[in-house]
Structures are given as C-alpha cells and as structure tokens.
C-alpha cells in the first residue's frame, strides 16, 4: 500500500519466528497526543516485551479493499501474527494478555475480574467519551447542541463518580496492574483535556500512574516518533 511507514517496537521478544504487525494512522489526528486506539495495542505489546512493526495508513487507505479485508469497518488498529488477523482493540489486547505474562493475574478469579474491567472500559466508559466527541466536533452547529452536551456531561460525571468510588485509594482497579487497568486508563486519557476528570483526583492520579509506566512511555514515544516522521516527510 502507498504511504506506509514501518516502525519497530522496542519490545524484546518475538513471538516464535512470526512478526507481529499492527496498523495505525500514518498522520496523527490528535497531533501527537497519543490518543489513537493503536496506543493500547502498542502499550500491551510493550508490557509483554514483544517486538512488533507498525504500518501507517492514510484515511484513504483505510477504506481500500486490502485493509477492509482485515478490518471490515475501515478503522485502526489491526493485528497480524502469521495467519491470525484481529481487529478491535479490546480483542487484540486480550489476545496479547492471554498469551503472555504480566497483563492478567494467574489466579482464575482475579483473571476473570481483570477481563471484566477490560469490558467495562470498552462498553461502559468509552461509549460516553465517544458521545462527547461527536457532540463537540460534529454537532457543534446544531441548535440543540448545548442541551445535548449537558446530558452527555452528566452521564460522564455519573459514571466517573461510580468508578472513583470503586477505585477509592487503591493503586489499581483490582490488585496489581492488569490489562483491565491498561484499557481503563487509556479510555480515561481521552477525557483529560475536557476537564471531566478534574472532579475526581483519585482518577487523575490513576491515569498519571499508568502513564508513568515504562511500557506506556515507550509506546507513546514510538507513536509520537512515527507522527513526527510523517510530518517531516
């Protein structure tokens, strides 16, 4: 495909002899803030210590047949490992976590709870952040936008209050850091610029702890470097 960049991940281990390839944006829509959803996959791979390559796609290439064969909705990221091709960030992160240590607990019950938090991030919290993005960027000229924004913000505040109460003064959602925290923290990162988190200091600290992890920093740096390389090109 045209316009690909190829970036090598900093993870150490390869998966047998197979190369892990993921897709991301060739140019960053968020101007290098690391909010594109391939960040979660990069982060999981870095936590697992796995080497990977990234193919950058333009918006036009995301709608071409070659990519649609991997991702039927024309989005990023995708994950390719030999004959296995996956889409949806939650499914990809779960696949990585189930096959490699460090992202899911050994205890069966704790493992199930961590997976539940992954689903909670994707199904309970993230749809609200998406609603907000739609209202802010695509409905700003609608006469009812202000009223809708109030409703969206109220729903976000309610869910964040529930999450804040559950987290309390704990470091992570359920014991040690897990794929559940990875997914949840990255979803919350998308709200940081809105000020929605400011009412909940423990959630602000929770996100900061996640962003301080060496694996996150490596993933962020790799995504930013790819964006900057695309700008220079």
| Any domain includes 73 | yes
DSSP the chain: -TT--EEE----B-BTTBPEEEEEESS-TTSSSS-STHHHHHHHHHHHTB--EEEEE-HHHHTSHHHHTT-TTS-S-EEEETTEEEESHHHHHHHHHHHSTTSS-SSHHHHHHHHHHHHHIIIIIHHHHHHHHHHHHTSTTSTTHHHHHHHHHHHHHHHHHHHHHHHTT-SSSSSS--HHHHHHHHHHHTTGGGTGGGG-HHHHHHHHHHHTSHHHHHHHHHHHHHHHHHHH-
pTM above 0.85, yes or no: yes
| Any domain includes 80 | yes
Please tell me whether residues 70 and 133 are part of one structural domain: no
Domain that holds residue 26: 6-102+215-232
Please tell me whether residues 167 and 189 are part of one structural domain: yes
Please tell me whether residues 128 and 198 are part of one structural domain: yes
Please tell me whether residues 112 and 146 are part of one structural domain: yes
| Any domain includes 143 | yes
**CATH (domain of 221):** 3.40.30.10
Please tell me whether residues 11 and 65 are part of one structural domain: yes
pLDDT score for 7: 45
Instruction: Return per-residue pLDDT of the chain as tens, 233 residues.
Output: 333 334 445 555 444 557 999 999 887 776 667 778 899 999 999 999 999 999 999 999 999 999 999 999 999 999 999 999 999 999 999 999 999 888 999 999 999 999 999 999 999 999 888 777 666 666 677 777 777 777 888 889 999 999 999 999 999 999 999 999 999 999 999 888 888 899 999 999 999 999 999 999 999 998 888 777 765 55
Please tell me whether residues 201 and 164 are part of one structural domain: yes
Please tell me whether residues 123 and 205 are part of one structural domain: yes
pLDDT digits (tens, 9 = 90+) for 15-32: 455 799 999 988 777 666
Please tell me whether residues 45 and 85 are part of one structural domain: yes
| Any domain includes 1 | no
Please tell me whether residues 202 and 221 are part of one structural domain: no
CB 23 within 8 A of CB 64: no
Q: How many domains does the chain have?
A: 2
pLDDT score for 129: 83
Please tell me whether residues 116 and 79 are part of one structural domain: no
| Any domain includes 72 | yes
Please tell me whether residues 155 and 192 are part of one structural domain: yes
Please tell me whether residues 123 and 33 are part of one structural domain: no
């Amino acid at each position: 495909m045209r316009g690909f960049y190829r970036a090598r991940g900093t993870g150490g281990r390869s998966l047998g002899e197979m190369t892990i390839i993921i897709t991301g944006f060739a140019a960053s829509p968020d101007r290098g803030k690391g909010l594109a959803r391939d960040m979660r996959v990069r982060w999981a791979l870095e936590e697992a210590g796995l080497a990977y390559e990234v193919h950058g796609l333009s918006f036009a290439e995301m709608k071409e047949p070659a990519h649609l064969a991997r991702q039927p909705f024309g989005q990023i990221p995708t994950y390719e490992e030999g004959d296995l091709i996956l889409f949806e960030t939650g499914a990809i992160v779960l696949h990585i976590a189930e096959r490699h240590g460090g992202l899911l607990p050994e205890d069966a019950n704790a493992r199930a709870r961590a997976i539940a938090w992954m689903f909670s991030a994707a199904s309970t919290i993230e749809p609200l952040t998406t609603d907000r993005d739609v209202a802010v960027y695509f409905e700003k000229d609608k006469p009812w936008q202000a009223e809708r924004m109030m409703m969206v913000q109220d729903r976000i505040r309610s869910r964040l209050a529930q999450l804040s109460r559950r987290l309390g003064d704990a470091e992570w959602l359920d014991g040690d850091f897990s794929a559940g925290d990875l997914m949840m923290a990255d979803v919350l990162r998308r709200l940081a610029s809105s000020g929605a988190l400011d009412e909940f200091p423990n959630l602000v600290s929770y996100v900061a702890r996640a962003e301080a992890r060496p694996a996150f920093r490596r993933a962020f740096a790799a995504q930013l470097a790819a964006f900057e390389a695309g700008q220079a090109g």
